[in-house]
Every structure is written in structure tokens, then in C-alpha cells.
Structure 1
Amino acid sequence: MKKFSKSLMSAAVISAIFTGSAFMVASPRALAAEKILLKTPIAFATNLPALGTTITWVADRLDKVSDGNIRMKVYEPGKLVSPPEILDAVSSGKVNSGYATAGYWQGKIPAAALFSAVPFGPEAGEYMAWMYYGNGLSLYQEMYDSAGFNVKVLPCAILSPETSGWFAKPIDKPEDLKGLNMRFFGLGASVMEKLGVGTVQLPGGEIFGALEKGAIDATEFSQPAIDQRLGLSKIVKYNYFPGWHQQATIFELLVNKDAWNGMSEGQQATIETICMASMTNSVAEGEAMQFPVMAKAKEDGVHIRYWNQTMLDTFKSTWDEVAVEKSAEDPFFKKVWDDLSTFRAGYDLWEANAFLPRSRTE
């Protein structure tokens, strides 16, 4: 059984490697280069902990580590560019950078979802291991290049598991899902659709209203501390774990490739290093804030449920079907899926022997 202890340890190792060099990149040569202002529309409001606060952390560190040589101006969702338009806006040069998650683009690039969150996929440490020391990062850039997008992609945050749904009533068997309308993200939505759920992808700010009006019956969004900000528990009281559809979620900084190529090596290294450090900062921030929120939710009448084995087996077997279908439909999806699967099969030897199992308490 995968547990977060290994994820945080892996993340800490990666952070130690890269943050140690963060203060060496602001060389005299870099400081002499033309100053950079990254105008960065974002997909998630900065008042959302971990989900939105990460990019403000990145902006602050870029300014300080570069001694003002690189600055980032963050634009709240919709203020400069709407979240669904961020990729196109960065590629065209309308803006020189943007912050989102690749799962938003799966309608244009099917494989993009694999660089966002994978059902029954890797936790944070394993995901980063594949990204930085497997073929993940090169495939990530290849995906955008082959699809004709003029962007440089940098993984710049990662969240550990999310919850997998807020429901108005208990869900004990697959039949209980049939006919529900639910907000659901990414590849997990394809799983839910196969199980008879009608899915929509709503931005966070629209979920409460949709639940209140009955436009949707259930929802998932993010981690407990983030869901709390949306007030979901005021309407639906059954919160299900684990987040089988998002054991880890990667967020990306996209930089217009012409703008990227115009930077000095020192400026590029600074941005790369800060984003690598942000991967650890984001997962640590997210992990630290969940348990008090969950404890308070229980006091307020929220039923925290762990999916029974029948439901988990159903989700897993349905996801296996989805993965096969999407691989048959899109050659690049298959290329990425096969590479990730091969890496994970090898990683299993390490995982099975290296970490202590931890019992789950009810």
C-alpha cells in the first residue's frame, strides 16, 4: 500500500538537491542580463491554500533569488486570460507565461491528462521520480512540441491526494452512482461516466451554486482544506476517500518558447530551480493543513467515508478499461502511458521493500 511517508521523503530529497543550488544561479552574468517580467494568468484563485498560494510563493522566490532580475506578476483567474485559454494565450505570445494544470487541455491533447493526475497512479514522490529522472519531463515537452504549441513547460507544484467526492447520501455499491450528475476532473471523469455518472468540469467558484440549485448532485474538487473554502459541506455531508483519481496532481508553469529562448542560461536555471523547490513546498503545505480541517468537519456533521473494497475494485477495473481505450485512440497517449507503466513496474520492487506499511484507522 502506498503511503505519503515515502512521497514526502522523496520530495524532500529532490528539494534538497535543487534548493541547494538556488542561491548560486544569480551570477553576475545573470544579473547583467535584461530583466524579465513574467505576466502570469493563473487557473486557481490565490486565496485557495496550496492550490492557489503556490504560484505566489514562486513569484516571491523568483524576485528574491534573482535579486529582482526576474519578476512575476500574477493575474487572478479571468482577470487577464480565462483559465481554459491559458495554453493558447502563452503559445501565441498574448502573454509570456501562465499557470494551470495540463488536465485542462485533454480535450485538445488527450495525453495531457497523464501529466496532471492519473487514476490509481503514482503518489508525489514516485511521480516526481518519473518526471525528473525517468522520461516524464522529456515526454511532457515533446507532447506540446508535437501538438504545435510554442511553449516551454515546467512542473511547478504538486499536490498529494485529494478526496474523491462529496455526496448527499452514502455510496455503497456501483449501482448507487448511476444517474448522478457530478462535477469531476480529468481521467477520473471517464471512469465515472462508464459507471453511469453524468460529469461536468466546473471551475471551483461555480461548484457551490451548482450544488445549491441542484444542477449537480455531487462533486469532487480538491483537498479538504481547499474544499472547506468552497463551503461544500454546507450542502453535501458524505465525503469519500481515498482520492483514487488524483493520488497526486501536477501543476505547470508554461512559458512562451520565444520568451524562454531569449533568456540567459542563468535566468532559465533560476526559474527551473524555483519550480523544482516549489514542488516540495506545495506538497508539504498541502499535507500540513488537512487533518485539522478533517477533524473540524467531523465535529460539524460531515461523514468521512473510506471506499469499500467493492467500490475500489470497480473504480480500478473501470480505469483499466479506460486506459486501454484511450491508448488505442491516441498514439501519444499510449506512448506516455506505456512509459509511465514501465517505470512504475520497476519502481514496485523498491516500493515493496523500502517502506513500512501503515494501518489505516477508522
Structure 2
Amino acid sequence: ASAKVYKLKCSVALGPGTGIWKAGTEWAQRVKQASNGQLEITMYPPGALVGTTETLEATGRRVIDMAFSTAEYWAGKDPAFAFVTYLPGGFDNPIQHDFWLYNRGGIDLIRELYAKYNVYLLSLPYYPAEYLMTRVPIKSMADIKGKKLVFSGSMQHTLFNKLGASTVFMPTGERVTALERGVIDGGDIGVPSTTVAIGADRVAKYLLRPSLHQPSSALELVINMDLWKSLPDNLKTILEREAYDLAWRCYRESLDLDLAALKKMRAEGLQEFTLPESEVNEIVRIARSCWEEEAKKTDLGKKILDSQIAVMKELGLLN
């Protein structure tokens, strides 16, 4: 008898032209090859099947089979999700994050969180730095005061509120219109290639370094739990192996696109500012106080945070 073919639908948080879409669609092809055609995954852009901010629940209820998105969207459902991706003032790069996940048990704690939503986490694909992009110049901490900024993660909202900004949330795709209308001054407009792909570079002409709110990022690749449990072991192995491979390909592909996007933006008049080191240190100090504040809202989040802090100490990032 011929092997059973699984035709799966996966919703992606960003559409064509972005690093996520490119890495995700290529991933689906590699999975099909590796499984000899048994796993046929079709990728859908945001809104084609479900809205960007509905993919977690839709995967849990199996309205869709899988999703490639970001945990940042779910902190409103469960504050523990704030600790899944990068903490401002935390790990410096994905190598440290990866070490925590796979050598110090971080992934098990995070899977425990996703399991509550009847979802299995395949991997946390890495993503390069996201800079503060604005339509008005921000050169210092003082300039942040009074600005209206957009962010995805709840931790970023807490941090920038403490720095004197007012913050709002909206899916990445809606941020361009808000910038054009002056509803927001800027904020997290995605990595540079996303900024260009959604057309926000026409309005956001100022970039602030270093990236404090998202020095690197971890996305999410999830699958419905019942479907996952029903898969034969060999297909589970292929999905997990390819999902981990995607974690790093996603980072490399996105970085490649980001470098090209920065080049384009610079040619079109992008102005770049760098915060003085004393202010960077001060913002990191404030960011770290936000961690504990957010962790008070969630037992599992506190467990995930404590696990990260132990590794940060081990790596000499924290005293």
C-alpha cells in the first residue's frame, strides 16, 4: 500500500517579499522532499485563512494545521508568552538563546506553555535585530518621551511606557497606514526587509541603534497537538529536524534581505542614530526591572524567566 499523504495548511504571519515567507515556503518544499511526498504543507499569507492574531487558537482548534508566526502576539492571552521570544536587555544573539533552549531545557518549558492551547511547538525560528524606526528623529532617551510607538511584545510596551512613550499594538501589516496618517511616530516596524516589504520605509526615515527592544528575535512554528500525536514517528522526526534547520535558515535569509534593505534605505535618505553607551546601560537596567514586573502575572512565565536568568548568569551576561 502507498504511504498516507498528509496535506497540511500553514498560515504565515508575513507575506511574499519578507524573510519569513521565503524561509517558510522553502521549508515546506524541503519537508515534502524529506518525507518522500508524505507531508505536503501549503503556506498561506496573513488573512488568507485566518487573521494574523488568530493563528494560535486556530491551530489549537485545527481550523488550520500549522502556523509560522510570533509568540509576541499572544502575551494578551497569557503573559507567559512574553518570555518566549527575546527579552529586552537579555540574550545578545540567537546562539545564546539556542543554547538556553536546547542545552538548558528552555524548549521544554515553552512547550508546556503551548500545550495549554492544544498546540505543539516545533521550533522557534531565529530572526535578526529589529530597530526603532520612526518618522521623526529619535537620538536620545529624552527624545523617546511623548512619542507614540507601536510594539508587538508586552515587555516592549512596559519598557517604553517607563521611558515616557505611549504605546499601541497592531499587526505589522497595519503599521504603515498608521505611520502615514501620523497616528504613530514609529516603533517596531519589523526587521529592515519587512519595513521595506510593507512600504514603511517611505515614511520611517530614521533608525536608532543599538536594537534594545529586539536585539534578535525568535518566531514560532507550531502544529495542532492532536495532529502531531497522530503522525508516525518517522514523520515527526522529519518535521522536528527540518523545523530546527529552519530556525537558522530563517535568520540567515532574513539577515541577507535586511542588508539589502538597509542599503536601499540608505540610498533613499535613511538617517541613523546611535544612543550613547550610558543611555544604553540605563535602558537595559530599566528593561530588566520590567522582567520581574511581567513575571508577577504568571507562574509559568516566572519559571521560564528564572531559567533564562540562570543561563545569563552562567554566560556572564548578568552578575
Bigger-Rg structure (1/2): 1
Q: How does 1:66-145 map to 2 (within 5 A)?
A: 66-122=35-91, 123-145=93-115
Q: How does 1:1-362 map to 2 (within 5 A)?
A: 33-48=3-18, 50-122=19-91, 123-145=93-115, 148-172=116-140, 174-186=141-153, 187-348=155-316
Supply the distance in 2 between the matched residues of 1:313 and 1:133 (Cα, whole angstroms): 28
Supply the distance in 2 between the matched residues of 1:285 and 1:97 (Cα, whole angstroms): 21
Q: Deviations over 1:188-237 (max 9, x none)?
A: 22200122211122222221211111111122222222212233332232
Supply the distance in 1 between the matched residues of 2:22 and 2:67 (Cα, whole angstroms): 15
Runs of 4+ in 1 over 4 A off after TM superposition: none
1:127/1:248 contact within 8 Å kept: no
Give 3-state SS (helix, strand or coil) of 2:23's partner.
helix
2:133/2:205 contact within 8 Å kept: no
Supply the distance in 2 between the matched residues of 1:156 and 1:324 (Cα, whole angstroms): 23
Q: Which stretch has the larger CA shift, 229-238 or 60-69?
A: 229-238
Per-residue deviation, 1:347: 2.2
Supply the distance in 2 between the matched residues of 1:114 and 1:280 (Cα, whole angstroms): 20
**What residue number does 1:9 align with?**
none
Equivalent residue pairs, number: 316
Cα distance change, pair 70–325 in 1 and its aligned pair in 2 (3 A): same
Identity %: 25
2:82/2:301 contact within 8 Å kept: no
For normalisation by structure 1, the TM-score amounts to: 0.82
Q: Which stretch has the larger CA shift, 112-121 or 263-272?
A: 112-121
Per-residue deviation, 1:149: 1.4
Give 3-state SS (helix, strand or coil) of 1:170's partner.
coil
Supply the distance in 1 between the matched residues of 2:260 and 2:51 (Cα, whole angstroms): 33
Supply the distance in 2 between the matched residues of 1:140 and 1:183 (Cα, whole angstroms): 26
Supply the distance in 2 between the matched residues of 1:249 and 1:219 (Cα, whole angstroms): 15
Per-residue deviation, 1:245: 1.5
Q: Deviations over 1:290-329 (max 9, x none)?
A: 3343233223221111222243123212212211211223
Give 3-state SS (helix, strand or coil) of 1:112's partner.
helix
2:88/2:288 contact within 8 Å kept: no
